[in-house]
Chain A
Amino acid sequence: MKPHTLSILVENKAGVLSRVTGLFSRRGFNIESLAVGPCEEPGMSRITIVVIGDDAKVEQVMKQLNKLIDIIKVSDLTENERVERELALIKVTAEQGTSRAEIMQIATIFRASIVDVSPKSLVLQVIGETDKIDALEKLLRQYGVKEFVRTGTIGILRGSKIVSGGK
């Protein structure tokens, strides 16, 4: 059981997301993260899904995904050299004083930026792989994380290879 990051190129038609996610829920997969948006081709979208499952089960879902008419290409990025990123917004309790300074120091270490300031809170924006975001959130917990919002992982292959198709 390990996380798989699947990149799925789909036609941007009504219901396509239900078709995709339905195939996971049917097999008892819990989707760890999901990100959807338009892509380089007009009329197409790219869905990035992270699921945890054994290789054979994930392979079966990928084959089933490939059978969906609105799906153009499915690929498991986990098998390749890739770049994965996630963006998170974290609202932390930060009263005037030492804690505020500490939080700002931690933000610098994580190359997070402060995107909102109020007398009682700060909002940090951080970009990175899932582990990095988890680590930052853990460190900030002692100050009081009021809200934690993340985009879900997106990924892209390194080098000139692309996920497109064909099919």
Chain B
Amino acid sequence: MKTGAKILVESLLREGTEIIFGYPGGVVLPIYDELYDSPLRHLLVRHEQAAAHAADGYARASGRVGVCLATSGPGACNLVTGIATSYMDSTPVVAITGQVPTNLLGNDAFQESDITGITLPITKHNYLVKSAGDVSRVVQEAFYIAGTGRPGPVLIDIPKDVSTGLAAEVKLPDKVTLRGYNPTYKGHKRQIEKALELLGHAERPLIYAGGGIISSNASPELMEFATLASIPVTTTLMGIGCIPCHHPLNLGMLGMHGTEYANFAVTECDLMIAIGARFDDRVTGRIETFAPHAKIIHIDIDPAEIGKNRRVDVPIVGDVKGVLKDLLALMKKQGAHEVWLKKIKHWKQHHPLKCPTTDGLHPQFVIRTLSELVKDKAVIVSEVGQNQMWTAQHFCFHNPRTWITSGGLGTMGFGFPAAIGAHFARPDVPTFVIAGDGSIQMNIQEMGTVAANKIPVKIAILNNMYLGMVRQWQELFFDHRYSFTELPPVDFVKIGQAYGIEGMQVNRPEDVLPAFQASLDCDGPFVMDFRIEREENVFPMVPAGAAINEMIGGHPR
């Protein structure tokens, strides 16, 4: 007989868990006691929200299931934003929470919250475990559900008496079978043939590649497909890295802050192949004018995404990696689409992303400097806002899973803790978080975590003393009325020092490269406080509700 807590820790190890991110508390004491002398590594964060984001960052960088642990009540509630972030971006996370003992459930007991109820709409599935004998099965199912199909977060709520309760060893099946959960992996052959027929007739095809390519590890297949069929590729924010930035077929990001040439290509293409993408409103702009001349092929593992926002001509439900392989196997020689590619080349030449050359420290220059310095040898994590868009636009990503960002939920405070998680997935390369002065302050307490554990996350803060993206909208659409978006100056280097973290304030362009060099030379964490031009905007930009070829801040056409 073993306690539920012991079974839990053994089950996590059985699933191959390397590290969990957590924060102790009353009802998880039995679990923490098991962790005390367990080979399972635990990282103590400074706020439960950071544990959820770190587990998410680990999952995104590694492709494996990330795990976080918190106590009941406030601990569990603090995970909520992180769980919602994972849910929106379909990342595999198992969140474990303690719960008050079963006899007190529903009694408003101390630190009780109905966390399974609270997380119902933001988890792929959740469990309230009622007996120690169920723990091993639930953990096995949770990992299976989180990591297969369209990935997503699964929460396991464990009452204290279940942790302390005794149960005999349960023989687990080698493979989980759940009657109500059977994702479709194999694309329908007839649909794949139909897609190839459409492709055969297309003159101006375009691939619209989303985060599904990354989570399915389908970059090699995507590249082969795009290259063999001569189809340009535009990526969503989540899809960045699935094709190298310098690849001649890569058009960069589309949508609200996409490149002009990507958005022109969307508007003019006659066939759009959407792969692992979901026609999000930040991508499409006004949906009626999105790819108005195109037939649509939509490949996605989640049937609910097909036809959700846009009518589709050929739906293919399946794992994008397998579907791309099938497409490649059946594809005959394709046209070279020379006229189309020439047109795109022309757009790329005449409408490049702008990098301001005026005096002062420009964030685009900071990002480009880092990109040239680290090349493909880094994991880059962003916060949310202008810092995120400048990085997405100006950093040259070479590989999948090297760009980590909160896309769907747009969670400020995600980046720094996610970078901590990413470091444990990719300790072989440096991890940088690109933050704004607003977003870094949403989880700045994690400086304590990186300092205490010498976690070498490099913190680059693009400090404009504004909530920059909101300020940008106020400038452009609210007549410069900067309502509650100005932040008083903060000396982030001094904050770092208080935690025992080295750092450097950077005011001049010539000091940018040395600062990044210094951060790499330091074996621990490092803070860089870049005092950038205060009212720099992210351009080009599609105003809310406009068609995506109606951009402001671009080149004259």
Using a CB–CB cutoff of 8 Å, the interface residues on chain A facing chain B are: 10-11, 14-15, 18-19, 22, 26, 56, 59-60, 63-64, 66-72, 167
* Cβ–Cβ contact B117 & A18, under 8 A: yes
* Cβ–Cβ contact B125 & A15, under 8 A: no
Seed contacts A64-B304, A69-B181; 9 additional CB < 8 Å A-B pairs: A11-B179, A15-B116, A18-B120, A22-B120, A26-B121, A60-B308, A69-B125, A69-B145, A70-B180
Using a CB–CB cutoff of 8 Å, the interface residues on chain B facing chain A are: 116-117, 120-121, 124-125, 128, 145, 178-182, 302-304, 307-308
Task: Given A11-B180, A69-B181, A70-B180, answer yes or no on A22-B308 (Cβ-Cβ < 8 Å).
Answer: no
Point out which of B121, B180, B302 has the most chain A C-beta atoms below 10 A from its C-beta. B180
* Cβ–Cβ contact B180 & A71, under 8 A: yes
Nearest chain A CB to B321 CB, angstrom units = 20
Question: What residues on B are CB-neighbors of A63 within 8 Å?
Answer: 303-304
Determine the residue in chain B with the shortest Cβ distance to A19.
Answer: B120
Point out which of B128, B178, B181, B308 has the most chain A C-beta atoms below 10 A from its C-beta. B181
Tell which of B145, B179, B304 touches A167, judged by Cβ atoms closer than 8 Å: B179
* Cβ–Cβ contact B120 & A67, under 8 A: no
Question: What residues on A are CB-neighbors of B124 within 8 Å?
Answer: 67, 69
How far is A130 from B178 in the complex, measured between Cα atoms in Å? 36
14 A-B pairs in the complex with CB atoms less than 8 angstroms apart: A10-B180, A15-B116, A15-B117, A15-B120, A15-B128, A18-B117, A19-B120, A26-B121, A63-B304, A64-B304, A67-B304, A68-B180, A71-B180, A167-B179
Nearest chain B CB to A48 CB, angstrom units = 18
Nearest chain B CB to A23 CB, angstrom units = 8
Determine the residue in chain B with the shortest Cβ distance to A26.
Answer: B121
How far is A19 from B126 in the complex, measured between Cα atoms in Å? 10
Task: Given A18-B120, A26-B121, answer yes or no on A69-B180 (Cβ-Cβ < 8 Å).
Answer: yes
Determine the residue in chain A with the shortest Cβ distance to B303.
Answer: A63
Nearest chain B CB to A85 CB, angstrom units = 27
Question: What residues on B are CB-neighbors of A70 within 8 Å?
Answer: 180
Determine the residue in chain A with the shortest Cβ distance to B181.
Answer: A69
Task: Classify the secondary structure of B's interface with A.
Answer: mixed
Question: What residues on B are CB-neighbors of A26 within 8 Å?
Answer: 121
Nearest chain B CB to A69 CB, angstrom units = 5
Nearest chain B CB to A46 CB, angstrom units = 14
* Cβ–Cβ contact A60 & B304, under 8 A: yes
How far is A99 from B117 in the complex, measured between Cα atoms in Å? 50
Nearest chain B CB to A67 CB, angstrom units = 6
Question: What residues on A are CB-neighbors of B180 within 8 Å?
Answer: 10-11, 68-72, 167
Question: What residues on B are CB-neighbors of A72 within 8 Å?
Answer: 179-180
* Cβ–Cβ contact B125 & A66, under 8 A: no
Question: What residues on B are CB-neighbors of A14 within 8 Å?
Answer: 128
* Cβ–Cβ contact A67 & B145, under 8 A: no
How far is A26 from B121 in the complex, measured between Cα atoms in Å? 9
Question: What residues on B are CB-neighbors of A68 within 8 Å?
Answer: 125, 180
How far is A166 from B347 in the complex, measured between Cα atoms in Å? 51
Determine the residue in chain B with the shortest Cβ distance to A63.
Answer: B304
Q: Return the 6 tightest CB-CB contacts between A and B, nearest first.
A: A63-B304, A69-B125, A69-B181, A72-B180, A69-B180, A71-B180
Determine the residue in chain B with the shortest Cβ distance to A23.
Answer: B121
Tell which of B121, B179, B307 touches A22, judged by Cβ atoms closer than 8 Å: B121
Question: What residues on B are CB-neighbors of A18 within 8 Å?
Answer: 117, 120
Determine the residue in chain A with the shortest Cβ distance to B126.
Answer: A15
Determine the residue in chain B with the shortest Cβ distance to A15.
Answer: B116
Question: What residues on A are CB-neighbors of B308 within 8 Å?
Answer: 60
Question: What residues on A are CB-neighbors of B182 within 8 Å?
Answer: 167
Determine the residue in chain A with the shortest Cβ distance to B130.
Answer: A14
* Cβ–Cβ contact B179 & A66, under 8 A: no
Nearest chain A CB to B138 CB, angstrom units = 12
Determine the residue in chain B with the shortest Cβ distance to A72.
Answer: B180
Question: What residues on A are CB-neighbors of B117 within 8 Å?
Answer: 15, 18
Point out which of B303, B304, B308 has the most chain A C-beta atoms below 10 A from its C-beta. B304
Question: What residues on A are CB-neighbors of B125 within 8 Å?
Answer: 68-69
* Cβ–Cβ contact B120 & A66, under 8 A: no
Question: What residues on B are CB-neighbors of A22 within 8 Å?
Answer: 120-121
Question: What residues on B are CB-neighbors of A64 within 8 Å?
Answer: 304
* Cβ–Cβ contact A67 & B302, under 8 A: yes
How far is A71 from B178 in the complex, measured between Cα atoms in Å? 10
Nearest chain B CB to A20 CB, angstrom units = 10
* Cβ–Cβ contact B178 & A69, under 8 A: yes
Nearest chain A CB to B184 CB, angstrom units = 11
Nearest chain A CB to B63 CB, angstrom units = 22
Nearest chain B CB to A13 CB, angstrom units = 10
Nearest chain B CB to A111 CB, angstrom units = 40
* Cβ–Cβ contact B304 & A66, under 8 A: yes
How far is A112 from B145 in the complex, measured between Cα atoms in Å? 50
